[in-house]
Chain A
Amino acid sequence: MQRTTWLWLLVGLVGYCLVPWYMTEGGFWRFGWLSGIAADADTGAGIWLAFLHGRLYLGAPLPVLAGVAAALLLLADPLRRARAIVALSAAGLGLVMLQGFAVGMNGPRFLTGLFGALGGAEGQAGFGAGATLTLFSLLFMLTTSLSAAGRSTGDAFVTGLIGLIVALVALFVFFPVSTVLVNAFRAPQGGLSLGHFLSEFFSADLWGLSCLTFTDQCGPAINSVLLATMTGATTTLLGLAFALIFTRTNFRAKKLLRLLTVIPIITPPFVIGLALILLFGRTGTVTAIVSYLFDVPKTRWIYGFGGVYLAQVLSFTPIAFLVLIGVVEGISPSMEEASQTLDADAWQTFRRVSFPLMRPGLANAFLLGFIESLADFGNPLVLGGGNYNVLSTEIYFSIVGTIADPSRTAVLSIALLSLTLGAFLLQRRWVGKKSYATVTGKADSGRHAALSRGVKIAAYATALPWAAFTAVVYSMIAFGSVVKLWGYDNTFTLAHYIRAFGIKHTAHGWRFKGVAWDSYFTTLQIATIAAPLTALVGLGTAYLLVRQRFWGKEAFEFSTMLSFAIPGTVIGVSYILAFNFPPIELTGTSIILIIVFVFRNMPVGVRGGIAAMSQLDKSLDEASITLGANSFTTVRRVIRPLMGPAILAALTYSFVRAITSVSAVIFLVSAKHNMATSFIVGRVENGEFGIAIAYSAVLIFTMLAAIVLLQLLVGKRTLRRTDRVAGAP
């Protein structure tokens, strides 16, 4: 423990004395700051800024670091030493964060007198490398000493991991969301006001019901709720039909059905909207045929509720399918057999036994569809068409529109957040646990009851046309990208691909001439960095939740899951509101994109990790620990090798999500760091569908390739193990 503390103390000293405290203009890795480290007000290290430059408020780390060194050298009793370091580093952390938030860009924001006197009048920039190193050092000295001071069984690695994840979640989930809250309460004349918030929140503008009487448009909140209810109900119904066919009939093309569950994961969210436009838009194929055959005028009906609804049902049915397969399979066949031995026929068995057992699962699927629909941004953006707005798009337009109105943005965000959170809490309390327990039931031999004729016909009649429709929609993506101008000039062309991804040979070698390359490479790069970090944070959290006991664990678990229910749009807005100013100024960097992916996709890693780790006997860890390994070695040598599939799933999922997600990203991209999805949305807004679809197709293939590659990598590993099994004497 002493060695670890010394190490972190050293890191802190380097961060405080040798590395620029603030974000540097020229970028950290050029090392231009080296020359000005002692005195320059922009690139100086903390200690020199504090004591040579009169910014006394940066002085706190000096006594803290010195105090820790003294404690390490002078205190012999390990318990007293640990307690002293805990107190010192906690105070240091608090003081550094306090000054960061107190002294803004233009001087002190609160405690004005105090920080003015300490030299804070001129204001300061955001935390940079030096501040970050110092903060990490203080944090890990705190956790390391906590592990030595308390009566807990966790060692320094465990407490460090807890400290790190708690700090990160607080900083990148709670802090931004609470910034949104604060902004929502901010009155136009300054100050915080509940009255202002309430009047904004409950305005007819938001919750208007005129569409119910067909007089006018409803408010976006009502639009969102109606849409989400319809989408949730329809996807549940379709999902159930698919699940029944999949598990209870001997339908031939089950593999194809399985495929249906994978496709949407690798489909960027607006792609289905685009395909629908190609089919049903004013120049769409179906529109043209219908108008030719029946001589009806071409309309723009697809732009509005109908289109968005259709697109969402297409997008989210697979989620319901996935949930309901588990539910339908989880019903113990013996119950159905019991019913049949009591002389109930197939329909009675379904209605009186199977269906009631499925009810919690159905509610679960409905709520998931409801949440997904509320959070969906891509489809309403492409198909909303200006006069049909839901909350997520309204939020976007309130911030990128001509008059940016942060207070309205915040109020809209809170409306959306309270809807998704409400549904999420309902799902957790009401059905979440129940449906989980049925899936993990004991293996049960016996056969599922066959469907009665009526149910079977209904299932086929619902599911098969829909499957065909899905196939058509997806094939549109392939066609749309190789046609000159859809509906007007249907000649075959590769021009869209060439414009987007052209490569040219010049005197200086190969040049990436296509307009899409920049955002494509940025996307790959950021997804590649974000994926392992997401897996790390997600599985690390899962490890803590499954394997460690610590104070406040329930709240910790709940808060990591909570971020699942925060819509991407809200996250995007909250990041803009929170990280546009010191002390944490990240907008416009690629770091903020990486961070947003990590914390948005983390809950899936957590869930996968929990499921995988619960299957590993806890005594494996304990055996390793009693054999003298610390928890880090245990994780590295025992847990990680046994978690291969979960790690792969987390990696794949977060990589793919980083490529396809648009809602949070669209707020955070910059000219320098543009992402594929926001590039495509830009093309769509300009009406350049060809190039948008071509790009989407390339993305889909990129993701397929990535998935296959990752599968192969892990596949090899398992092979090697079987080799050894075969070779044993």
Chain B
Amino acid sequence: MNESTRGSVVFREVVKKYGQVTALKCLNLSIEPGRLVTLLGPSGCGKTTTLRLIAGLEAATSGAILIGGEDVTHLSATYRKVSMVFQSYALFPHMSVLENVAYGLTVKNMPRREAHEKAEAGLELVGLKGFGARLPSELSGGQQQRVAVARAIVLEPEVLLLDEPLSNLDAKLRRHVREEIRQIQQDLGLTAVYVTHDQEEAMAVSDRIIVMKNAEIAQEGSPRDLYERPGSAFIADFIGDANLVDCEVLAAGEGESEIALAGARLTLPTGAPGTGAAKLVLRPHQIRLSREKIAGGFEGVVSYGAYLGNQTQYTIDSALGELFVVTGETGQPIATGSNVWIGFEPGEARLVSA
């Protein structure tokens, strides 16, 4: 293995079946070294299965898996240079925190003293210096989480796997811990594969996001790519909120398309997936509301409004269907039942296939 491939992960046409259930259809993916890549998708789409295939806890039904350029398809989990942080943390309840962190080192026959020194260093890295003598049951959830991370990284794995590492923490702590994980990953230059079903979490920590759906990859790219250039209605809806409005593409050109929207014809400075029925993606904050008429806008009625302090959310019944709108203007709320005009910047809207 050379340095440039250390930590890379490649799947070649990997299929995974559990009896009749197909958990992965035909997965091709490639993860570059030193990146934090997130597997994102609704529950049951095959994220955990992908992670377990990398770890070697499941055997692929067919296809090949490469880690660091080496084919590990038939290599058992014990010998893969991969560590995993489990959703339940899976700390050994009968060992102290220090013994937990040193476990991976001692099973590799590292002398006890040295192993404990390294484990201490690992604990310090996650901010748990001095907690080594405690039992896991004597720590809070967030601390246990960090012990699990320390235990995984002291082995200096090629790849660090995290399966929904924050799901057992309360909302406040989540943001803090995810920043810590990201920090450690960047400091150590680790390759990390991070599983979550929470798109905000994925956006916040990832270099790259792989969105999965129904045992396949739906789309992959940087957080910005996915948000600004969704490839399908599913992605548009899953990555950030979106209003998906039915429309018809009349002409699809290079970087420009012409659509029919609620009886009006519009020209958009954006590509289209093809002519025919399509969906127009409008983010809630991209929609402008006004009590006065907007040129080229549409009419609607406020059916619901909610004041959230820093923003106001509205539901509008309009010619485009029911729209969800968020505005930063909180000064003068629009009363329920009022007539309003809706407008949007054609340059911000995106078209996806219906």
Contact = CB atoms under 8 A, between A and B. Distances in A.
Interface of A: 78-79, 147-148, 151-155, 617, 619-620, 622-631, 633, 637-638, 641-642, 721, 724-725, 727-729
Contacts of A642: 93-94
Contact of A728 (B55, B58, B82, B134): B134
B78 A629 contact: yes
A642 B93 CA distance: 8
A626 B93 contact: no
Contacts of A630: 76, 78
Nearest to B93: A642
A456 to B, nearest CB: 43
B179 interface: no
B83 interface: yes
A626 B55 contact: yes
Nearest to A631: B78
Interface in B75-118: 76-80, 82-84, 86-88, 90-94, 96, 103-104, 107-108
Interface string B203-215: 0000000000000
B97 to A, nearest CB: 9
B295 interface: no
A625 to B, nearest CB: 5
A458 B61 CA distance: 61
Interface in B44-73: 55-61
Contacts of B84: 622-623, 626
A291 B312 CA distance: 99
Contacts of A725: 135, 138
B47 to A, nearest CB: 16
A240 B184 CA distance: 61
23 contacts: A148-B74, A151-B61, A152-B59, A153-B57, A155-B76, A619-B86, A619-B88, A622-B84, A624-B107, A625-B57, A625-B77, A626-B56, A626-B82, A628-B78, A628-B107, A629-B78, A629-B103, A629-B104, A637-B107, A641-B94, A728-B96, A728-B134, A728-B138
A728 B98 CA distance: 12
Contact of B135 (A78, A147, A154, A724): A724
B90 A622 contact: yes
Contact of B103 (A147, A153, A155, A627): A627
Classify chain B's interface size.
Answer: 35 or more
B350 interface: no
A154 B78 CA distance: 10
Nearest to A727: B133
A622 to B, nearest CB: 5
B155 interface: yes
Contacts of B328: none
Contacts of A153: 56-59, 76-77
For A148, A624, A721, the residue with the greatest tally of chain B CB atoms inside 10 Å of its CB is A624
B293 to A, nearest CB: 60
Interface in B23-62: 55-61
Contacts of A625: 56-57, 77-78
B107 A633 contact: yes
Contacts of B76: 147, 153-155, 630
Contacts of A727: 133
A617 B161 CA distance: 19
For B107, B151, B152, B155, the residue with the greatest tally of chain A CB atoms inside 10 Å of its CB is B107
Contacts of A638: 92
| Nearest 8 Cβ contacts at the A-B interface | A627-B104, A623-B90, A619-B90, A629-B107, A626-B84, A619-B86, A625-B77, A151-B59
B94 A626 contact: no
B148 to A, nearest CB: 8
For B86, B87, B88, B90, the residue with the greatest tally of chain A CB atoms inside 10 Å of its CB is B90
B130 interface: yes
- Judged by DSSP, the binding face of A is helix
Contacts of B86: 619, 622-623
A641 B152 CA distance: 22
A617 B148 CA distance: 15
Contacts of A624: 92, 103, 107
A80 to B, nearest CB: 12
Nearest to B157: A626
Contact of B130 (A152, A622, A629, A729): A729
Contacts of A627: 83, 103-104, 107, 151-152, 155
Given A623-B91, A627-B104, 6 more contacts: A151-B61, A152-B59, A619-B90, A623-B151, A626-B82, A629-B104
Given A153-B56, A626-B55, A617 B90 contact: yes
B26 to A, nearest CB: 17
B94 A721 contact: yes
Given A617-B88, A622-B57, A630-B78, A729 B133 contact: yes
A313 B107 CA distance: 54
Contacts of B94: 641-642, 721
A724 B107 contact: no
A417 B288 CA distance: 82
Nearest to A147: B76
A458 B77 CA distance: 61
A666 to B, nearest CB: 43
Nearest to A616: B93
A630 B155 CA distance: 15
B74 to A, nearest CB: 7
Nearest to B130: A729
A269 B13 CA distance: 63
A619 to B, nearest CB: 4
Contacts of A628: 78-79, 104, 107-108, 155
Nearest to B86: A619
For A78, A153, A627, A642, the residue with the greatest tally of chain B CB atoms inside 10 Å of its CB is A627
Contacts of A724: 96, 135
A60 B238 CA distance: 65
B161 to A, nearest CB: 8
Contacts of A620: 90, 92
A641 B91 CA distance: 14
Contacts of B82: 626
Contacts of B103: 624, 627, 629, 637
A725 B151 CA distance: 21
A418 to B, nearest CB: 34
Contact of A151 (B74, B96, B107, B133): B74
Contact of A79 (B74, B152, B155): B74
Nearest to B151: A627
Nearest to B78: A630
Contacts of B138: 725, 728
Interface in B119-162: 130, 133-135, 138, 151-152, 155, 161
A458 B212 CA distance: 64
Nearest to A626: B84
A628 B81 CA distance: 8
A78 B55 CA distance: 21
A728 B74 contact: no
Contacts of A629: 78, 103-104, 107
Nearest to B94: A641
For A151, A623, A638, A729, the residue with the greatest tally of chain B CB atoms inside 10 Å of its CB is A623
Nearest to A636: B107
B104 to A, nearest CB: 3
For B59, B76, B93, B107, the residue with the greatest tally of chain A CB atoms inside 10 Å of its CB is B76
A541 B35 CA distance: 42
A716 to B, nearest CB: 15
Nearest to B61: A151
Interface in B194-250: none
Nearest to B137: A725
Contacts of A78: 74
Contacts of B130: 729
B287 to A, nearest CB: 45
Contacts of B152: 627
A157 to B, nearest CB: 10
A626 B74 contact: no
For A617, A633, A728, the residue with the greatest tally of chain B CB atoms inside 10 Å of its CB is A728
